[in-house]
Amino acid sequence: MISINDLHVSFRTENKWIEAVKDVSFNLARGEILGIVGESGSGKSVTALTIMRLLDTRAAKISGSINFRGTDLLSLAEKQMRAYRGNMMSMVFQEPMTSLNPVLTCGDQVTEAMRQHFRIGKTAAKQKVIELFKEVQLIRPKNVYDCYPHQLSGGQKQRVMIAMALSCDPEVLIADEPTTALDVTVQKTILQVLLNLRNKRNMSIIFISHDLGVIGEIADQVAVMYKGKIVEKASVAELFSNPQHPYTKGLLACRPSPERKLKKLPVIADFLKVNMHGKIESTNETISHLINSLKFNYNELADRKEKIYSQKPILKVKNLKTWHPIKTGLFSAATKFVKAVNDVSFEVFPGETLGLVGESGCGKTTLGRSILKLVELTAGKIIFKGTDITKFSENEMRIYRKNIQIIFQDPSSSLNPRLTVGQSIIEPMLVHGIYATYKQCKERVISLLERVNLKPEHFNRYPHEFSGGQKQRVSIARALALQPEFIICDESVSALDVSVQAQILNLLRELQQELGLTYIFISHDLAVIKHISDRIIVMNKGKIIEVGDSEDIYNNPKQEYTQKLINAIPKGAILLS
């Protein structure tokens, strides 16, 4: 279907050209799913956009060939390319909210794409769109047709994007990170939708991801990209059983696996080093040897649990309710409520990591914010170190929040874009009067930046100058600025590359050991939760449905919902064990 040979893509900066894709070649057969995997910046998305001819040729220089059934797409004029794009080849983008038009209904947007390529009446187009919505397993497809994007969940929006991509019956579908940051259960459904479509239509798919665990679930063949180059190509079975390149070994090893309990996760640097000339050097480390050296032994885990649970709880939550009123009119009283947190009780012990897991909408983020009283409580008690804080005034709450901090899911939206990272970290110190002088504050910030593996010169940089993983490190440094005892980590690694995720999880564990921190760690991914947690709370529909030791929850789940979360862990993550 597609044959790519010697593809090079460069982008012009102020004073030079930067090569983003270097000497990329691969073939895609009919009905085949090719997985392209690598970290952010490896060239995956640029390769996909080049195939679709979506790059601005004024800023990008492209060479090589992209043959689609014998036609070199790079030689076509833009008008000719439109006959291929959307019709014979289509693309599902990573973030559906930015790809869907917020002022058009979902049905109108898919209809528009269809009528662009075919002479079809509005009624017939609507009927076909509703059939497509059924095919991608959207519940109540007629209702979805009339919905605006903001009225749908992340998984529903992604299904609408897939339906739009399929509306002109393409022979090749490119899916660019279509499941990143989705719940693992929604992710599993989206992957199954794509597999069903491949089988039904004999369609070829290029599936792009940073997670080899996900690739193992869907792909037939895999191409691993690193710094713009394909460093390894193999079948899924061959790649997982016998990876050749050190970078591939690192990607395979660094994803948390629920089958093992490690003191720390392996990282890319354990397998691959780059010398002063920019050349890759293998460390000759094997995955099995490294993982065996990092495993907890039984006595270490037993000693840790005895130390933690012999103490009094640092936090007690009793019968907590956080209900959001639903008003039918501007001046009408609320008669119905969304019971986001509904009669929840639990304890957290000093030095413990308590995992909080569940799908989007289960109430876990609201529970985290309720503990900090960032949302209004409906009922219940929050007792921190023996003091009931539910009746605290705003001034008393400010002092309390010095001891409990939060790391939010998206560092880009939680860091002020107008402040340098140094100013962002200093700000809470000044509010609480931690140090007498600005100089002392700055010295503390620089030491914090170094502690989270950033550099002193980063003090004067703005958030947009950092990668996602670096911004999350800044958020961790900011949370540590007030020397808290307790940190709530709200989905703090869900949108990161698995390699960066491993570094952040290792950093959080190191800081816990070094500073005696207590965590509530919130995530929808049970593999991540099991890796970092001592105990796990499973939430569904605002209630706690299961609590227990992390090993017990995974090996002997008592609830069907917990089993559903376990089954949704990508099988690639389990193959790595």
Query: What CATH number has the domain bearing residue 534?
Result: 3.40.50.300
Strand, coil or helix: 374: coil
319 and 465 fall within a common domain: yes
Residue 495 lies in a domain: yes
What are 41's strand-pairing partners?
A: none
Residue 400 lies in a domain: yes
Residue 254 lies in a domain: no
**Which is it for strands 543-549 and 535-540: parallel, antiparallel or unpaired?**
antiparallel
Q: What are phi and psi of 383, to 5 degrees?
A: -115, 115
Stretch 488-493: mean pLDDT = 90
Stretch 174-201: mean pLDDT = 86
Stretch 491-507: mean pLDDT = 88
Residue 573 scores a pLDDT above 80: no
Match 């910046």 to its residue by tokens: 41
Strand, coil or helix: 403: helix
Residue 55 to residue 9: CA distance in whole angstroms? 10
Stretch 139-152: mean pLDDT = 88
Residue 191 lies in a domain: no
What are 355's strand-pairing partners?
A: 521, 536
Domain end point (choices 169, 201, 217): 169
Residue 340 lies in a domain: yes
Q: How far is CA 125 from CA 85, 114, 128, 132, in A?
A: 19, 7, 5, 10
Residue 438 lies in a domain: yes
DSSP H or E segment with residue 451: helix 438-451
Residue 577 scores a pLDDT above 50: no
Strand, coil or helix: 454: coil
Stretch 215-226: mean pLDDT = 94
Residue 81 to residue 420: CA distance in whole angstroms? 44
What are 405's strand-pairing partners?
A: 487
Quick one: three-class SS letters along 236-258?
HHHHHHCCCCHHHHHHHHHCCCC
pTM exceeding the 0.75 threshold for the entire prediction: yes
Query: pLDDT band at residue 181, thresholds of 50, 70 and 90?
Result: low
Residue 507 lies in a domain: yes
pLDDT at 329: 62
Residue 232 to residue 247: CA distance in whole angstroms? 9
Domain end point (choices 117, 149, 169): 169
* pLDDT greater at residue 495 or residue 26: 26
Domain count of the fold of the chain: 2
Of 268, 222, 276, nearest in space to 246 by CA: 268
Residue 234 lies in a domain: no
> In the predicted model, what is the mean pLDDT of the chain?
89
**Which is it for strands 486-490 and 518-523: parallel, antiparallel or unpaired?**
parallel
Residue 214 scores a pLDDT above 50: yes
- Encode pLDDT of 307-325 as tens digits: 999 999 999 999 999 998 8
Q: How far is CA 235 from CA 202, 223, 243, 427, 574, in A?
A: 19, 9, 10, 51, 18
Residue 400 scores a pLDDT above 90: no
Half-sphere exposure of 173 (CA within 13 A, CB side): 29
Domain end point (choices 125, 143, 169): 169
* pLDDT greater at residue 285 or residue 455: 455
Domain that holds residue 119: 100-169
